[in-house]
């Protein structure tokens, strides 16, 4: 029997045994939050959409709740090709593509629609494309919502209330500069250490959107929630460049379609939790206060000195064009 016929016979017996006649490619996808969070919902949608487009070609293995480490470690895993995909916040993205930090500037976006329009428009697309230069491939911008402050020391109504507050920030210089300017004591920390640090009183508080506060049940370790909405929190669906380069054109198209569906699911989750989250957290016993526009203005004023540094780093033209984007 020729080599060709032997191959056909082997494929035939594998199909008869019900096994796929080709090797499936594994996609390990890591993310910091639980399967029922906005990240988990997006990752599941992503997997299902890839399967709908490609059949059995890819086998997904999910590593939720920082199962593969902190966000920085996971992105480094993508760069060296040991992890195929992730959904991450912008916490550490500026360490890989510095320009992403511009979206972390406090009080930059008016609302979710404004943020989504900018991220999906030419400015967001240009920054997404820069990930190709650092061993990664950005598939789509997702989001977490606007970040709010939680803490165990006191309710926060004015910048004086955050004076000296040991607040965990992401490992993100833009956020650190804002809390420095407010007179807080920002403590950058990788996410996997945050809950135990709050439990042990190493830090007084942290800041995250309702999507995170609700899904992580931060009410179990935090008493006060201030709806400060001080900064929008983008997320990104990223794949490893070695993995991406190994896909053919139809597989790449399938991953792109799936990414669009995944961020749609993530944004729908955020829309939902933005309307129901505060009630949920009150029912769970948190003391919640919302900043009035006048109170918010005092925080904007307090961090205005950080803006000089932001303009220097990102250019005032870029910041202004984001603010003016319709």
**What is the binding site for ligand PAF (CB under 6 A)?**
32-33, 71, 88-89, 91, 144, 170, 191, 208, 212, 233
CB of 60 to ligand PAF, least distance (A): 19
Closest CA to 135 of 62, 92, 77: 77
The residue among 57 and 215 lying less far from ligand PAF, judged by its C-beta, is 215
CB of residue 307 to ligand PAF, shortest distance in Å: 23
134-162 burial, b for 16+ CB within 10 Å, e for fewer? Answer: ebbbbbbbbbbbbbbbbbeeeebbebebb
CB 58 within 8 A of CB 255: no
In angstroms, give the least distance from the CB of 319 to ligand PAF. Answer: 22
Q: How far is the CB of 80 from ligand PAF (least distance, A)?
A: 21
Question: What's the min distance (Å) between Cβ of 148 and ligand PAF?
Answer: 12
Pairing of strands 166-169, 205-209: parallel
Q: Of 144 and 313, which CB lies nearer to ligand PAF in the complex structure?
A: 144
- Give the shortest CB-91-to-ligand PAF separation in angstroms: 4
Q: Which residue is nearest to ligand PAF (CB)?
A: 89
Cα atoms in the 13 Å half-sphere on the side-chain side of 23: 3
CA 244, CA 81: separation in Å to the nearest integer? 10
Give 45 or 89: the residue with its C-beta nearer to ligand PAF: 89
Q: CA torsion angle for 256, 260, 263, 264 (degrees, to 10)? A: -160
**What is the secondary structure of 246-274 as a DSSP string?**
TS-HHHHHHHHHHHHHHHHHHHHHHHHHH
Asked if residue 276 lies in contact with residue 82, where contact means CB atoms within 8 angstroms, the answer is no
């Amino acid at each position: 029997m020729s080599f060709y016929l032997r191959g056909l016979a082997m494929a035939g017996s594998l199909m008869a045994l019900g096994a796929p006649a080709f090797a499936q490619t594994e996609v390990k996808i890591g993310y910091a939050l639980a399967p029922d969070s906005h990240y988990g919902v997006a990752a599941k949608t992503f997997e299902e959409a890839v399967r709908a487009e490609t059949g059995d070609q890819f086998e997904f293995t999910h590593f939720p709740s920082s199962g593969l480490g902190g966000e920085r470690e996971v992105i480094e895993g993508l760069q060296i090709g040991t992890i195929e995909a992730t959904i991450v916040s912008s916490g550490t993205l500026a360490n890989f593509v510095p320009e992403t930090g511009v979206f972390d500037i406090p009080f930059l976006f008016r609302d979710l629609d404004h943020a989504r329009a900018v991220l999906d428009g030419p400015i967001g697309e240009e920054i997404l494309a820069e990930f190709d230069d650092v061993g990664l491939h950005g598939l789509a911008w997702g989001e977490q919502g606007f970040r709010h402050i939680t803490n165990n020391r006191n309710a926060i109504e004015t910048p004086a209330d955050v004076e000296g507050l040991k607040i965990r920030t992401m490992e993100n210089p833009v956020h650190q500069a804002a809390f420095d300017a407010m007179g807080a004591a920002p403590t950058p920390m990788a996410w996997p250490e945050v809950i135990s640090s709050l439990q042990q009183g190493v830090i007084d508080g942290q800041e995250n959107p309702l999507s995170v506060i609700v899904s992580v049940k931060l009410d179990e370790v935090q008493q006060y929630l201030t709806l400060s909405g001080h900064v929008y929190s983008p997320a990104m669906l990223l794949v490893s460049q070695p993995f991406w380069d190994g896909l053919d054109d139809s597989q790449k198209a399938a991953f792109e379609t799936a990414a669009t569906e995944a961020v749609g699911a993530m944004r729908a989750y955020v829309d939902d939790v933005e309307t129901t989250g505060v009630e949920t957290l009150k029912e769970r016993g948190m003391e919640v206060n919302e900043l009035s526009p006048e109170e918010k203005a005092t925080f904007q004023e307090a961090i205005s000195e950080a803006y000089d540094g932001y303009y220097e780093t990102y250019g005032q033209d870029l910041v202004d064009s984001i603010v003016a984007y319709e």
